């Protein structure tokens, strides 16, 4: 018993990720935390997307279940779980059954290497970014399998569109990623790294986020990635694979109930995964804004207050809306619930002010905030851009993004070489 | 991190690879064959990981499982399954098959029994940390010329495919 406690405690003084330190217990804890966090994020995204889209279109969005529809995702989840699970009679049973599992596995496995902080990752791999791109590219297989196994026309066309789109945008995406990885090698030893934590540490060492590196080269590479990642996750304006007006629902037309909800889960966690890649490669990962310009203990203290203040702000919004709830007795339970939710958020906010907690947690806060920005962008795109036609999509991928990616890669390499050979010999 | 239960995982992954390989040739449905091939390729990637070659494993997943096999499936899905189900799977050329299998099996047995004398006894050293960097210096330093020739060959193949497929360029 004593040895077990010692084993658990031995990690606490380590400055490595649990996977790198080889501590099984903490690795399991981190896996569960990441899984729980992702599930909560997907639930929150479900509500936020409907709400924000509705407000963009001057509607109210879900209002009935819970105050401001806060419990709508839970109601949806219960509905999906209780729905009858239908399999088409002519479907290929095994492949039909496997497809959603593969998509979900691919979408969740990539989070093994996502660096929420210098020590807050399940593990740190030497091939981190390669692993993320590789495993997330496996989700195409699941989509193709789903479309084919349904033995129906719309899913097959949807799967064909989806796989063609994902395979062609992967090329441009890869080129953008390579030009960011090239920037990691601009140090004294001249060796770059593929490790997700190493990439962020390289940005810290070079004193700038890669989006601003060799302006505007980093920015263009980031732009290419930002476009390709929307196409890669089959989201609007590149959601031809599930264009409602043409293909009903694309590759998951024949899926219902729980299986469909697995596709939903995978889509949103894939969105979070590609956003984390973008944040890690170009936006400084877990680094707070201006770590070099506004350094010093005063600024450190000020920025460490951000997580707590944010949660207190959420709590204040909850309390404000509690006060505005209708005073009718039918709304009493909802009012109490909203006040309770606000109180929980407030307590979390207060706990985050404790220095010991905030030092450990603020990396996670900055990382999640940046990812949340991308999530908002996704919703914004969906609310504003019209859908592309398929030939436009292909032209965009192969004739615009790919040449741009190649050009940026060559220019980045040349500028980096010049900088190392001439300016700083 | 020290390796855990190496023999167990080696036999597990080899078993998955063998079963996948057998399924590839015995399944009548080409889509099932392709899926079995993907399983084999993924197990192979894991074996590369066990051999402390994470870069090769990652490239194997991206290129083979994620790229080439998707194109395979893409083409197979458009082929009529009904017709291919009726096609004969095996040509009964027992003599050729048996002799090839015996030759290969004999080679394997010879390597297994005499391998210690033929091959130098190299223990694997753990170089997990800078594997990718080593591959990079090898490819772009020592074997630069061979690498560039290989990529030129691929470029020629792509141009050739385009020329053959398109009537008017």
Please answer yes or no on whether B35 and A20 come within 8 Å at the CB atom: no
The stretch A158-182 carries a mean pLDDT of 87
Count CB neighbours of A191 within 10 A. Answer: 13
Please answer yes or no on whether B74 and A126 come within 8 Å at the CB atom: no
How many domains, in total, are found in chain A? 1
Residue B3 banded pLDDT, cuts 50, 70, 90:
low
Going by C-beta distance under 8 Å and a sequence separation of 6 or more, which residues neighbour residue A145? Answer: A95, A96, A98, A99, A102, B35, B73
Backbone angles phi, psi at A145, to 5 degrees: -65, -45
Any chain A CB within 8 A of the CB of B53? no
The DSSP annotation for A304-342 comes to HTHHHHHHHHHHHHHHHHHHHS--SGGGHHHHHHHHHHH
Residue A30 backbone class (left: φ over 0; alpha: ψ -120 to 50; beta: rest): alpha
Burial A404-414 (b: 16+ CB within 10 A, else e): bbeebbebbee
Give the residue on B whose Cα is nearest the Cα of A19. Answer: B1
Any chain A CB within 8 A of the CB of B2? yes
Among A338, A412, A378, A6, which Cα is nearest to A177's? A412
How many domains, in total, are found in chain B? 2
The stretch A388-395 carries a mean pLDDT of 86
Burial of B153 (0-12, 13-18, 19+ CB in 10 A): exposed
Residue A188 has pLDDT above 80, yes or no: no
The stretch A123-134 carries a mean pLDDT of 85
Give the residue on A whose Cα is nearest the Cα of B55. Answer: A127
Please answer yes or no on whether B73 and A141 come within 8 Å at the CB atom: yes
Among A163, A164, A181, which Cα is nearest to A126's? A181
Q: Answer yes or no: are the C-beta atoms of A371 and A272 closer than 8 Å.
A: yes
Among A224, A208, A20, A5, which Cα is nearest to A124's? A20
Q: Is residue A317 part of a domain?
A: no
B-contacting residues in A 300-339 (Cβ below 8 Å): none
Q: What is the pLDDT of residues A333-358, one digit of tens each?
A: 888 888 998 999 999 999 888 888 88
The stretch B63-77 carries a mean pLDDT of 82
Interface residue of A93, A133, A144, A155 to substitute, partner B, most B CBs within 10 Å: A144
Of B59, B73, B132, the CB nearest to A126: B132
Closest-CA distance, A134 to chain B, in angstroms, reads 4
| HSE value, Cβ hemisphere, 13 Å, CA-based, for B23 | 18
- Look at residue B138 in the predicted model and tell me its pLDDT: 84
Residue that is written with structure tokens 């279940």 in the block: A65
Q: Is residue B103 part of a domain?
A: no
Count CB neighbours of A353 within 10 A. Answer: 15
Query: Which ipTM did the prediction report?
Result: 0.80
Pair of tokens at residue A51: 């709400």
Please answer yes or no on whether A127 and B35 come within 8 Å at the CB atom: no
Of B61, B70, B133, the CB nearest to A134: B61
* C-alpha span between A376 and A381 (Å, rounded): 9
Contacts of B58 in chain A (CB under 8 A): 127, 130-131, 134
Interface residue of A134, A151, A162 to substitute, partner B, most B CBs within 10 Å: A134
Please answer yes or no on whether B1 and A22 come within 8 Å at the CB atom: yes
Q: What's the pTM value of the predicted model, to 2 decimals?
A: 0.87
- Look at residue A405 in the predicted model and tell me its pLDDT: 92
Give the residue on A whose Cα is nearest the Cα of B75. Answer: A160
Give the residue on A whose Cα is nearest the Cα of B129. Answer: A126
Closest-CA distance, B70 to chain A, in angstroms, reads 6
Please answer yes or no on whether B62 and A137 come within 8 Å at the CB atom: yes
Segment holding B77, helix H or strand E:
helix B69-78
Any chain A CB within 8 A of the CB of B48? no
Closest-CA distance, A127 to chain B, in angstroms, reads 6
Pair of tokens at residue B153: 């060959």
Q: Is residue B109 part of a domain?
A: no
In sign, the C-alpha dihedral spanning B4, B7, B10, B15 is negative
Candidate from A25-29, A189-193, A195-199, B119-123 with smallest mean pLDDT: B119-123
Q: Is residue A342 part of a domain?
A: no
Residue A285 has pLDDT above 90, yes or no: no
Residue A410 has pLDDT above 90, yes or no: yes
Range of the domain at B65: 1-87
Q: Is residue B110 part of a domain?
A: no
CA-based angle B27:B29:B33, to the nearest 5?
55
Of A131, A160, A193, the CB nearest to B74: A160
Domain final residue pick, B55, B87, B119: B87
Q: Is residue B121 part of a domain?
A: no
Q: Is residue A58 part of a domain?
A: yes
Range of the domain at A252: 2-7+22-62+72-305+353-423
- Give the CATH number for residue B10: 1.20.120.1200
Q: What is the CA radius of gyration of chain B?
A: 21
Q: Answer yes or no: are the C-beta atoms of A140 and B66 closer than 8 Å.
A: yes
């Amino acid at each position: 018993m004593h040895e077990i406690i010692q084993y658990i405690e031995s990690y606490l003084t380590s400055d490595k990720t649990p996977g790198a330190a080889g501590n099984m217990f903490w690795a399991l804890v981190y896996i569960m935390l990441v899984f729980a966090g992702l599930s909560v994020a997907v639930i929150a995204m479900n509500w936020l997307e409907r709400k924000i889209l509705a407000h963009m279109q001057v509607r109210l969005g879900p209002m009935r279940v819970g105050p401001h529809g806060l419990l709508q995702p839970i109601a949806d989840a219960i509905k999906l779980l209780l729905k009858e699970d239908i399999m088409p009679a002519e479907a290929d049973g095994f492949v039909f059954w496997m497809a959603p599992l593969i998509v979900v596995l691919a979408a969740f496995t990539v989070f093994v290497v996502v660096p929420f902080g210098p020590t807050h990752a399940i593990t740190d791999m030497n091939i981190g970014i390669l692993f993320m791109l590789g495993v997330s590219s496996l989700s195409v297989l699941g989509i193709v399998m789903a479309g084919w196994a349904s033995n129906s026309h719309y899913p097959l066309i949807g799967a064909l569109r989806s796989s063609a789109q994902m395979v062609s945008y992967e090329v441009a995406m890869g080129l953008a990623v390579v030009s960011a990885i090239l920037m990691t090698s601009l140090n004294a030893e001249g060796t770059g790294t593929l490790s997700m934590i190493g990439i962020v540490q390289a940005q810290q060492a070079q004193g700038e986020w890669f989006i601003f590196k060799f302006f505007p080269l980093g920015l263009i590479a980031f732009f290419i990635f930002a476009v390709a990642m929307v196409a890669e996750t089959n989201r609007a304006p590149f959601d031809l694979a599930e264009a409602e007006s043409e293909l009903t629902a694309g590759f998951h037309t024949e899926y219902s109930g729980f299986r469909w909800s697995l596709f939903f889960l995978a889509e949103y966690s894939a969105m979070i995964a590609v956003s984390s890649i973008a944040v890690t490669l170009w936006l400084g990962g877990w680094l707070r804004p201006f770590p070099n310009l506004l350094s010093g203990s005063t600024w450190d203290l000020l920025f460490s207050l951000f997580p707590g203040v944010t949660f207190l702000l959420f709590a204040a919004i909850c309390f404000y809306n509690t006060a505005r709830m209708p005073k009718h007795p039918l709304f009493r339970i909802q009012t109490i619930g909203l006040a309770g939710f606000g109180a929980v958020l407030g307590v979390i906010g207060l706990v985050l002010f404790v220095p010991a907690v905030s030092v450990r947690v603020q990396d996670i806060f900055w990382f999640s905030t940046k990812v949340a920005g991308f999530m908002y962008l996704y919703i914004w795109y969906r609310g504003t851009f019209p859908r592309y036609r398929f030939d436009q999509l292909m032209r965009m991928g192969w004739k615009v993004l790919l040449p741009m990616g190649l050009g940026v890669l060559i220019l980045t390499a040349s500028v980096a070489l010049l900088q190392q050979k001439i300016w700083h010999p | 991190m020290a390796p855990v239960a190496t023999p167990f995982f080696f036999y597990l992954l080899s078993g998955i690879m063998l079963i996948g390989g057998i399924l590839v040739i015995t399944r009548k449905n080409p889509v099932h064959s392709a899926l079995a091939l993907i399983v084999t390729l993924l197990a192979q990637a894991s074996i590369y990981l066990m051999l402390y070659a994470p870069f090769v494993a990652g490239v194997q997943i991206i290129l083979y499982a994620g790229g080439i096999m998707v194109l395979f499936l893409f083409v197979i899905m458009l082929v009529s399954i009904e017709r291919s189900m009726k096609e004969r799977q095996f040509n009964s050329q027992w003599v050729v098959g048996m002799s090839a299998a015996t030759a290969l099996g004999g080679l394997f047995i010879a390597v297994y029994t005499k391998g210690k004398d033929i091959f130098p006894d190299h223990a694997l050293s753990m170089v997990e940390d800078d594997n990718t960097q080593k591959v990079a210096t090898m490819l772009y330093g020592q074997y630069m010329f061979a690498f560039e020739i290989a990529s030129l060959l691929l470029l020629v193949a792509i141009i050739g495919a385009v020329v053959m497929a398109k009537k008017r360029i």
